[in-house]
Amino acid sequence: MIYLDYSATTPVDERVLDSYCKVTREFIGNANSIHTLGVKSKELLLQATNQIAEILNCHPKELIFTSGASESNTTAIKGVAFKYVKRGRHIITSKLEHKSVLEVMGYLSNIGYKIDFVNILPNGQIDLKHLGELIRDDTILVSICAVNSETGFRQPLKTIRQVINKKNPNVIFHSDLTQALGKTKFYLSDLDLASFSSHKIYSPKGIGILYKKRDLQIDTLIYGTTENCPFRGGTPALPLIVSFAKGMRLINDKLDSNIKKCEKLKSELLKGLSKYPIQINSNDLCVPQIVNFSLLKIKSETFVHALERYDVYVSTTTACSSLEESTVLKAIANGDKSVSTTSIRVSLSHLTTMTEIHEFLEIFDKVWNELLLKWKK
């Protein structure tokens, strides 16, 4: 098997899985309980939270554990929209966002909020001049992802923050960092809110984080809050939280070397793809772990299933929108369907080998010629 869909989800690291099993067996108490078992669980919860806060360089009380990045995104956006509705109903986002952001924006639009989409430049970054022009006195939120999940486009978060502060310092800045964690460096000091997901960094599914700056208030979306869960009700998922902390430590320790390895893999992949009449959509501004290209003549879904016959796994858009036209490429390609409906995403990892890249290119050539011959007929 050649797995090249790491941006959709990653396999769980055995060391992380060991932590999950150990906590599940040995820490059965509810961290909200006051008895000895509960206190023991709470101490471990605080320890894991402190470890994550140290890695992210933030205060432990700025971390809210959720079920994943989709919940984090929803909580951040709706939480701000409902809390600051008296200040304004204007929100700015982009077509680069994950479906969980775009759909909540659609919901808010239906109930009276004004949603503006900032233009995207041909290089995949947002138009900072246009962003400045969009910001108004009644703007309450800007939500721009740090790394686009389909193409790997990176956004200059610090510069975005500077543009926001220059036009209206009261505007809250949220970023979906799901695809940034473990792929590139970032600084939470540039943000008010940020979303993360565990299963993108070789940890279990079902756990995410919403970073919320300490002095920022948002509306609670899940009630039943406690001291340990002040903004999101529920029993702390201790095995998952500890696993997330372990996964974050492991990925952070090798971040620089992992990035360098993926840069070499990406270079070899692009070299091999250069002989085909396809359009490479990822560029030098993208993270090295994601390579997106459009086949132009062959539907992406057809190509993905053809590769699957050879036990090769890639994707089209994001995992949550895999059968839909790419809104990202549609925006950048000015509606050219030959680009937005034929895109393939190959997502790499430090686990990927150079041998796998070479084998993928050999299989790609077979599938390309098979399908192109059918297309010509």
| Residues belonging to the active site | 320
Cα 160 to Cα 146: distance, rounded to the nearest angstrom: 10
Give the bridge partners for 279, in sequence order.
Answer: 294
Which residue in the block uniquely carries the two structure tokens 């059965």?
28
Cα 241 to Cα 252: distance, rounded to the nearest angstrom: 16
CB 154 within 8 A of CB 179: no
For residue 103, what are the contacts with CB-CB under 8 A and spacing of at least 6?
none
DSSP letters spanning 160-229: HHHHHHHH-TT-EEEEE-TTTTTTS---GGG-SEEEEEGGGTTS-SS-EEEEE-TT-----SB----SSS
Both structure tokens of 89: 């109903």
Separation in Å, CA 340 to CA 152, 247, 283, 365 = 15, 34, 16, 22
In the chain, alpha helices (H): 14-26, 36-56, 69-83, 99-110, 128-134, 157-167, 238-253, 255-273, 300-308, 327-332, 337-340, 354-376
Distance of CA 327 to the CA centre of its chain: 16
Handedness of CA 300, 305, 310, 312 (dihedral sign): positive
Give the distance between the most distant pair of CA atoms in the chain. Answer: 73
Cα 140 to Cα 142: distance, rounded to the nearest angstrom: 7
Strand 114-117, strand 279-280: pairing: unpaired
Both structure tokens of 164: 């926001």
